[in-house]
Chain A
Amino acid sequence: MGTNQATLEHVIAEYWPRMVRAAAGYERNPALADELAQEMAFEVWRALAKFEQQSALNTYVYRVIHNVAVDHIRRATRRHETALESEVLDDCGVGPDAALQQTQQKQQLMQAIQRLPLSLRQVTLLRLEDLSDREIAAVLGLTETNVAVRLTRARQQLATLMAE
């Protein structure tokens, strides 16, 4: 891919909303989620300079994003003191009632995801971004069977958490 600045910026811009969503899925505190998204963008930017088409770009970028998230969890020692309120994600031009309902659903989904164990949270966040089992396996270094098992467990837990 090379280090063409315009290409790098284009890729970062394209993946930016996904980074923001991933960061919100991993970090409850909105301010720290902002920081995490910035860090993801930076690491993707650095990693792209070394990208040599050894895997699909999509897989490569997601691998970096989720690696930064795991690194964040490793380093964060005050995570359990963080608040659950997060208003990181916005609505998309719908009426007031519908918007309110949608916002509540999003909050519910976000909180349920944040309460999943890490191994299930990872596969869920990737599936919510429409990655296939094979792609998720490549991103996380797992087998497809393992991914399928985790996804089944994640769906069950997500349903329980969202029903609470």
Chain B
Amino acid sequence: MDNQDFSKLTELWQEAKPSKQPAPQLAQLQKKQQRQRWFMLMNAGFELVVLLFVSYFWISESAAGAALPELLWLGFVTLWGWVLFVVISFSRWRSLQAIKSGALSHSITLHTKLLQQSMFRWRLSVAATALFTVVFVVFTLYQCGSESCSVTHWVRYTVAFAVLLLAMLYFEWRARGDRRACQELME
């Protein structure tokens, strides 16, 4: 394609005018952005509250002298939650630092790094959920082996197991989406 051909394409391109596009709705976009910020803050706050609640429950059960399997299970959930929360929060913090640096405006490498952080969080969620599921299954089998489980218990455990599997599938799907976007940016 020579310069003349490209000039024709430039003319053709610049002739195009917006037709159906409404004018920019800045006020609405500003509100949307504020909502998203609130949502992110609430999400982090919710995770922290749940963790504090589980930790409190574990401590109060220990003080009340609950059975060892129950204490082990609650201890695992508490430890699992805090480790995951700290690692994910650290990754989020690194992403936020990258966004705040302002270098995003000219660095595709930085966008790629953000995607890699995001992929790391999704992959970690898959691994953590898998670990949780394994421990949950072991705990369930122990519970039902040592004392008989009713049909209601089995239904409850099966539903919980299915939810965990679905969560893993969702995390994996998100990680794949990030990987696809990463590949596109690196083309």
Asked if A71 lies at the interface with its beta carbon under 8 angstroms from chain B, I say: yes
Q: How many A residues, CB 8 Å from partner?
A: 51
Tell me how many residue pairs across A and B have CB atoms closer than 8 Å. 120
Inter-subunit contact B20/A70 (CB<8 Å): no
Residue of A nearest to B173 (CB): A77
Interface residues on B, range: 35 or more
Q: A34-B21, A89-B18, A128-B13 are in contact. Are A67 and B104 (CB under 8 A)?
A: yes
Asked if A88 lies at the interface with its beta carbon under 8 angstroms from chain B, I say: yes
Asked if A147 lies at the interface with its beta carbon under 8 angstroms from chain B, I say: no
Interface residues in B149-170 (C-beta closer than 8 Å to A) = none
Asked if B105 lies at the interface with its beta carbon under 8 angstroms from chain A, I say: yes
Digitize A83-127: 1 where CB-to-B-CB distance is under 8 Å, 0 elsewhere: 000011111100000000010011001000000011100000001
Partner of A109, one of B13, B21, B181, B184: B13
What is the predominant secondary structure among interface residues of chain A facing chain B? helix
With A41-B24, A67-B104, A79-B180 given, name 4 new contacts (CB 8 A).
A63-B105, A67-B105, A91-B15, A109-B12
Partner of B10, one of A30, A117, A130: A130
Inter-subunit contact A17/B185 (CB<8 Å): no
